[in-house]
Amino acid sequence: MTLFKVHCHHCAASRRFQWTYVTCVHDDTSYGERGYQEIFKLAQEEKSCIAEAMKVKQ
């Protein structure tokens, strides 16, 4: 799955379920880190709060 698709899924789910407070789980790879950073930016734009970010080892 591309990073763009991940972002689209996050935004679509957040909007559909009207989530404003979420937890983000990502792996410790550069892909996971970049994805988290992008989702963090999107959350700020959407006025959502990331309650916790959990990084798991690959």
Tokens of 31: 């892909």
Reported pTM: 0.73
Dihedral angle at the C-alpha atoms of 33, 37, 25, 14, nearest 10 degrees?
A: -150
Q: How far is CA 23 from CA 18, 37, 54, in A?
A: 14, 13, 8
Residue 3 scores a pLDDT above 70: no
Distance from C-alpha of 34 to C-alpha of 31, rounded to nearest angstrom: 5
What confidence tens digit (pLDDT) does each residue in 6-54 have?
Answer: 666 767 788 888 888 888 889 999 988 988 898 888 888 888 899 999 9
